[in-house]
Each structure stands twice: as structure tokens, then as C-alpha cells.
């Protein structure tokens, strides 16, 4: 059993369980307190370019996806005015004078914490007339801890308390979302904690590369080609002179009897540097981001897709779909009854101009989209009578009783009213 599992089992045996904080989870998985040559924390992990790229990509995509509010009616969804929670849900910090931010910025901030810590939280500081949250001011997930007392192993009488920055709050005052849930743990699991070995290897390789040239010329051999044996005093003097020169990026001058050979990178050092390339793709697996989406090398060298839309569909369905579904349900439970929050995920499926035009014309020709709706997609008003007259001149209306040309596409299939 893992060390984290041992800790949870011991706590459960005492009928008191506490979800471990992010720092404690990392500490339980370390050997000797360090992973590689660099300690891995949530802050140091962001120095890994792949960690930053994965978290940035996911948070910005989720934050840039619009959300709408609907009311079911006779089997249809009727769009209604969004409550404050779906418009300007709160502040980026828990402070009474902090300005409310847009929903997209709020979503990006919370998703960034979800992907790093597995949890995001905020204080519910305002409620609407239905008693539902209307303002949630965010608190860093690093300050979150949850205490569960009783209610373990099926026994009743459980109690949950949130501790934010040292202050205890009841659950009804805290907005909490989790990601990567696991049985027996109230808090979500953090990818950073489980990717610590890969991240630590990368950071160690990064530190190695920096230190290799940080102090000037790397180590090597300064050989006297004339003397077989040198006095220790002479050796120390030459070493001191050489060190003093390279530390200031000065020129080191020696006689004809001295020969300098720079140190070669050993096979082990080369393998250590190769860890940086491996670490990027390995981290992508932990964060659920295709390696090619952050320009990381892939085993095949490159991945080819038929279109941009096909690539975005895969990203939406496999990588981001569960996020949208889970968060839609969370928001739907916290807005008035008979209201549904729904992300407009079509905003991610952006096509190239040619493909987009083909789809729109096919929908108009197939009578699933009106011409006025098609123009609205390009922020254009409906056709004017003068414009319709131009179309009648260019595309005469088919003769009565003549079957439509099923092979025609686009405007050739449009029937311009008289």
C-alpha cells in the first residue's frame, strides 16, 4: 500500500479522517523530502514549460467558452436571462471591496486551480432571493483543507468542515469543486502530486543545464606538457589564476607548456538532458492534454488531422468534455429550479473559413438554417428587399413543377420569394 494509503487507513481506523492538503500529499510521496535534485512544489512545477502550457491551455479554453441559461418548455430549451452567478460570479480574491470579474475570467482562474490542485474553492458572500449563491469570491486552493469527522465506514453523524487560510467554515459557506475524485477522499487528487517524479526529473535536468554554464567555462583539464610532476604549490597557483580569470569572463594566459582540454559531456549527462524531452510528453499524460497541442515532441514526430475541426472535436470530446459536463451540473444545481446552465462548446469547434462556409450553405440548402440566421452568424442583418431583387435577377426562380436540382449547392438551391 502507498504511503498516502497508509496514512488514510490509519486516520480511518480512528474514525476521524482528514483530506490531506496538497503540501502533505506531496510530502507523503517524496523519498527523503526531495524528488531528483530539485524539490517539487506547486509553484516550482510551473517552471516546467509543459506544466505551464497544459494548465494554461485548459484554463483558457474553459474560460473562453460562453455559458447560457435555459428553461425547458414543451421539450425545447428556451434561453432566459442569466443569473449573476453565470454573468459576474465574484471576485478573484475574497475581499469585500474587490471588483466582480467576468464569468470567463472566473472560470479560467478556477480551472487553473482544478488542474493543479484537483480542487477549487471560494467563499459564498452573497445569495439571491432563492437563497442560492450569487457571489463567490475565490480563495487559492493551496489554502484549502477539509476535515471529516465521523460518518466513516457507513456510520452516521458525519461532519465536514472547511478550513480556508486557517479559518473554519461550514460547507454552506464554501463553494467547492473537485476534479479527479477517488473513493474515500473528499478532495480531488492533484495531477502535480502524482506527476512529481516526472516534473522533478525535468526540473533537475533544467537545473543541471543552467549550472553547467552558470559559472563560466565548464570544468576540464589544464595539463603541463613538459613536466611530468608538478609541485603542489605551482598547481594551486595555476588553478587560482585560471579560476579568477574565468569568473570575471577574463582572458586566461598561460605559457607554451600548458594545454587546456574542456570536459566532455558524459553519456550519463546526455541521458539526463534527454529527460527534459521525455518529461514534457509524460506531463501531458497527467494533465490530459495531447502533446502536439503544446508543441511537445511525439514519438511519431508529427500528428496529421484532416481538418482543424477534426482536431478540435477530439480535444473537446476526449479532453474537455468531462470538465464541461461536471461543471454544467454544478452550476445548474446552484441556479433557480427549472433552469439549466449549458456551455456553448461549439465556440471551440472553430473551422477554417472554407469549411465553415460549406457547412452553412449545406444547412441552408437542407432547410435546417434560414438565410437570415446564416447571415446572423456573420453579424449581418437580414436581406433587404433590394438585395432580394438582385438575387432574383442572378438566380431566376425555378419553373413551377420542375424538380429541384439535388446536386446544386449553396445559393443555386435557394428559392428567392417573389
**Pair 258, 222: CB distance under 8 Å:** yes
Interval 307-348: pLDDT, tens: 677 777 888 888 899 999 999 999 999 999 999 999 998 877
Q: Is residue 410 predicted with pLDDT exceeding 50?
A: no
- pLDDT for 252: 67
Higher pLDDT, 231 or 272: 231
- pLDDT for 16: 38
Q: Which of 70, 300, 329 is nearest to 178 (CA)?
A: 329
* Residue 335, C-alpha cell as written in the block: 441556479
Return all residues near 172 (Cβ < 8 A) that are at least 6 apart: 124
Q: Which of 283, 288, 290, 286 is nearest to 323 (CA)?
A: 288
- pLDDT for 286: 86
Handedness of CA 395, 401, 402, 407 (dihedral sign): positive
Among 36-45, 122-131, 171-180, 326-335, the least confident range: 36-45
Domain ranges of the chain: 1-215+277-350, 220-262, 352-413
- pLDDT for 214: 57
Give the percent of the chain with pLDDT over 90.
27
- pLDDT for 373: 86
- pLDDT for 101: 94
Higher pLDDT, 221 or 306: 221
Q: How confident is the model at residue 33 (pLDDT cuts 50, 70, 90)?
A: very low
Among 27-31, 118-122, 257-261, the least confident range: 27-31
Q: Which of 299, 305, 269 is nearest to 281 (CA)?
A: 299
Return all residues near 160 (Cβ < 8 A) that are at least 6 apart: 146, 147, 148, 171, 186
- pLDDT for 231: 75
Specify the DSSP class assigned to residue 230.
-
Give 39-47's long-range contacts (Cβ < 8 A, gap of 24+): 39/200, 40/192, 40/196, 40/199, 40/200, 40/203, 42/116, 42/117, 42/142, 42/190, 42/192, 44/203, 45/116, 45/192, 45/195, 45/196, 45/199, 45/203, 47/203, 47/206
**Most confident of the following: 169-183, 191-205, 242-256:** 169-183
Amino acid at each position: 500500500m502507498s504511503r498516502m494509503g497508509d496514512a488514510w487507513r490509519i486516520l480511518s481506523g480512528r474514525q476521524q479522517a482528514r483530506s490531506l492538503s496538497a503540501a502533505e500529499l506531496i510530502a507523503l510521496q517524496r523519498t527523503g523530502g526531495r524528488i531528483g535534485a530539485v524539490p517539487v512544489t506547486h509553484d516550482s512545477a510551473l517552471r516546467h514549460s509543459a506544466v505551464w502550457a497544459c494548465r494554461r491551455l485548459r484554463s483558457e479554453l474553459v474560460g473562453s467558452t460562453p455559458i447560457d441559461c435555459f428553461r425547458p418548455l414543451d421539450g425545447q430549451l428556451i434561453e432566459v436571462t442569466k443569473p449573476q452567478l453565470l454573468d459576474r460570479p465574484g471576485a478573484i480574491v475574497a475581499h469585500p471591496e474587490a471588483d466582480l470579474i467576468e464569468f470567463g475570467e472566473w472560470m479560467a482562474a478556477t480551472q487553473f486551480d482544478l488542474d493543479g490542485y484537483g480542487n477549487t474553492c471560494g467563499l459564498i458572500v452573497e445569495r439571491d432571493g432563492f437563497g442560492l449563491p450569487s457571489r463567490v469570491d475565490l480563495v487559492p486552493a493551496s489554502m484549502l483543507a477539509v476535515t471529516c469527522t465521523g460518518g466513516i465506514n457507513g456510520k452516521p453523524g458525519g461532519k465536514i468542515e472547511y478550513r480556508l487560510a486557517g479559518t473554519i467554515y461550514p460547507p454552506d459557506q464554501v463553494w467547492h469543486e473537485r476534479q479527479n475524485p477517488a473513493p474515500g477522499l473528499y478532495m480531488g487528487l492533484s495531477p502535480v502530486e502524482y506527476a512529481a517524479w516526472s516534473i522533478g526529473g525535468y526540473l533537475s535536468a533544467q537545473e543541471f543545464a543552467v549550472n553547467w554554464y552558470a559559472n563560466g567555462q565548464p570544468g576540464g583539464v589544464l595539463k603541463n606538457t613538459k613536466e611530468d610532476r608538478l609541485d603542489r604549490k605551482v598547481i594551486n597557483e595555476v588553478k587560482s589564476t585560471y579560476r579568477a580569470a574565468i569568473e570575471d569572463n577574463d582572458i586566461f594566459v598561460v605559457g607554451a607548456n600548458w594545454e587546456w582540454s574542456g570536459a566532455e559531456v558524459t553519456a550519463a549527462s546526455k541521458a539526463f538532458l534527454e529527460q527534459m524531452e521525455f518529461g514534457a510528453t509524460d506531463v501531458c499524460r497527467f494533465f490530459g492534454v495531447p502533446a502536439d497541442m503544446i508543441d511537445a515532441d511525439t514519438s511519431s514526430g508529427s500528428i496529421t488531422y484532416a481538418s482543424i475541426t477534426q482536431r478540435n472535436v477530439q480535444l473537446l470530446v476526449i479532453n474537455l468534455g468531462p470538465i464541461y459536463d461536471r461543471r454544467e451540473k454544478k452550476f445548474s444545481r446552484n441556479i433557480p429550479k427549472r433552469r439549466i446552465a449549458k456551455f456553448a462548446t461549439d465556440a471551440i469547434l472553430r473551422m477554417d473559413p472554407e469549411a465553415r462556409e460549406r457547412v452553412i450553405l449545406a444547412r441552408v440548402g437542407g432547410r435546417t438554417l434560414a438565410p437570415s440566421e446564416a447571415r446572423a452568424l456573420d453579424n449581418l442583418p437580414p436581406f433587404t428587399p433590394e438585395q432580394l431583387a438582385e438575387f432574383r435577377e442572378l438566380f431566376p426562380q425555378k419553373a413551377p413543377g420542375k424538380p429541384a436540382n439535388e446536386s446544386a449547392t449553396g445559393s443555386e438551391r435557394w428559392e428567392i420569394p417573389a
